[in-house]
Amino acid sequence: MKVTYLGHSGFLLETDTVYLLFDYYTGALPEISADKPLVVFVSHSHADHYNREIFQWKLRYPDIQYVLAHDIPVKRMMEEHKARGIDLDPCLIQVRKRETRELRLCNGSALIVYALRSTDAGVAYLLEYEGHVFYHAGDLNLWYWEGESKQYNENMTRAYLKEMETLKGRKIDIAFIPLDPRLQEHAMDGLRIFMEYTKTEAVFPMHMWNDYSLIDTCLKRFPEYKKHLRSVSHEGQVFVL
Ligand SMILES: [Zn+2]
């Protein structure tokens, strides 16, 4: 399997038989071969996770499919695209929190999509595909802000743990998890708890606002992550797993 870091929370994951693309909003798209299906996921509507440019790709990849969170307004956008000859109706679904959907891809395989509830906007995605399990958190994180009230941070912690409960003991091949330096000493909490709850093989930190220094700090504090945590350092970086 191959993972390309596109920037911020954007990743392209490639297996032998599919491309899964998450939260693209900027950067160069790597070469994508038209003979494997491409599924594009958007976790929520925020501008650092969603760029309407993704719908132009339908012209290049006619079999493309889109999975969008429920908070993204699509009606008008779809009408505008239809008027310009891009019919998104047959290839776009929206998912709500706690919803499970099964997508049938053009290669005949099934992709199971389970949407977790984000602690920010939209959803996180847990995917099952040909025996593999993948997870992209979107903005589902433990947003523990020093400046917030005790009540806020307690509610936040509770909400995050509730979602992690749904993943308890799960084997996950590849996960993408926020490691946001703005959270300062709490920046690693969400990732640490995720690693405690799940059995994750490879974890890619994201949502780092181009500051990758926290990865080293994290590895020093949790040396046991050495074989799991991938050192993301620049856009366009490719990892072969
Ligand atoms: Zn975000």
For the chain, how many structural domains are there in total?
1
180 Cα to the center of ligand 1, angstroms: 9
H or E element: which one contains 50? none
Residue with tokens 């993948």: 134
139 Cα to the center of ligand 1, angstroms: 5
207 Cα to the center of ligand 1, angstroms: 6
> Band of the pLDDT at 27, cuts 50, 70, 90?
confident
The residues placing their C-beta within 5 Å of ligand 1, an ion, are: 48, 139
Residue with tokens 């491309």: 19
Sign of torsion over alpha carbons 183, 208, 196, 125: positive
Query: What are the Cα distances from residue 12, in Å, to 27, 30, 109, 182?
Result: 12, 8, 19, 25
pLDDT, tens digit (0-9, with 9 covering 90-100), for 152-164? 999 999 999 999 9
| Predicted pLDDT of residue 222 | 95
Cα distance between residue 63 and residue 60, in whole Å: 9
What CATH number is associated with residue 134? 3.60.15.10
| Predicted pLDDT of residue 127 | 98
Cα distance between residue 130 and residue 200, in whole Å: 17
216 Cα to the center of ligand 1, angstroms: 22
175 Cα to the center of ligand 1, angstroms: 16
66 Cα to the center of ligand 1, angstroms: 19
46 Cα to the center of ligand 1, angstroms: 6
Cα distance between residue 66 and residue 138, in whole Å: 15
48 Cα to the center of ligand 1, angstroms: 6
* Burial grade of 237 (CB within 10 A; 0-12, 13-18, 19 or more): middle
Average pLDDT over residues 202-211: 97
Six-digit token pair at 53?
A: 């440019």
166 Cα to the center of ligand 1, angstroms: 22
Domain with 13 in it: 2-240
| Predicted pLDDT of residue 28 | 82
98 Cα to the center of ligand 1, angstroms: 20
Average pLDDT, the chain: 96
* Burial grade of 111 (CB within 10 A; 0-12, 13-18, 19 or more): buried
Residue with tokens 């307690």: 154
pLDDT, tens digit (0-9, with 9 covering 90-100), for 75-120? 999 999 999 999 999 999 999 999 999 999 999 999 999 999 999 9
49 Cα to the center of ligand 1, angstroms: 6
22 Cα to the center of ligand 1, angstroms: 12
Does the pLDDT of residue 176 top 90, yes or no? yes
pTM for the whole structure: 0.96
For 193, list phi and psi in degrees, rounded to 5. Answer: -65, -40
Instruction: Compute how many other C-beta atoms are within 10 angstroms of the C-beta atom of residue 116.
Output: 23
